[in-house]
Amino acid sequence: MSMDPHQIASLFHIDVTPETGPRGRKTQDDGGEIVIDLLQQLVIGQERQNKLLEDLVQQSNSTQKQRASELGQWKEANPGLARQCRAAAETLSRVQNEFLHNLTDEVTDNEECLLDGEFVLNEFVDRYGPRLAHLNGVLQVLSQLSTTPDTASAPQQ
């Protein structure tokens, strides 16, 4: 029950000839115009992206300036508390340094166990990870709310 190849060929017909222009053939100018049109569309898309990026940067800068202004106003309204935040940040920075010293000693002393045992590694991360993350967060807040050292040492009027 073999089929004749000519029967199959008559069932399927795929046209692979290029589209023709008004003169019956595609000119090279048409291809150039297509490329030019595509390049123009790319340029338009790039210009839109650039405009959106400029707007995004402007919005981000505006938000940062507003936040800096609000922090400055808060520091002016609460100079004593800002100085206390600076002192607390400096103290916690020393605590953080000691904590990091202990953490690095622990890693050095238990290098083989940390490499070989997942349990030991998980215990290490559970022990040091949350404290380090929370300490960093508190330090960041205190640093933002604190006065700069020059402002803290300047005479108050």
Whether 62 is covered by a domain: the verdict is no
Whether 150 is covered by a domain: the verdict is yes
Domain count, the chain: 1
Distance, CA of 146 to CA of 132 (rounded, Å): 21
Whether 49 is covered by a domain: the verdict is no
pTM of the model: 0.56
Whether 22 is covered by a domain: the verdict is no
126 C-beta neighbours (distance < 10 Å), count: 10
Whether 29 is covered by a domain: the verdict is no
What's 19's DSSP letter? P
In this predicted model, what pLDDT tens digit does every residue of 124-142 receive, in sequence order? 899 999 999 999 999 999 9
In this predicted model, what pLDDT tens digit does every residue of 94-105 receive, in sequence order? 999 999 999 999
Distance, CA of 108 to CA of 118 (rounded, Å): 16
Whether 143 is covered by a domain: the verdict is yes
Whether 28 is covered by a domain: the verdict is no
Q: What is the pLDDT of residue 118?
A: 87
In this predicted model, what pLDDT tens digit does every residue of 52-86 receive, in sequence order? 999 999 999 999 999 999 999 999 999 999 999 99
Distance, CA of 2 to CA of 55 (rounded, Å): 69
Residue 147 has pLDDT above 90, yes or no: no
In this predicted model, what pLDDT tens digit does every residue of 3-48 receive, in sequence order? 565 555 555 556 666 665 555 455 556 778 899 999 999 999 999 9
- Provide the domain limits for residue 83: 78-157
Whether 120 is covered by a domain: the verdict is yes
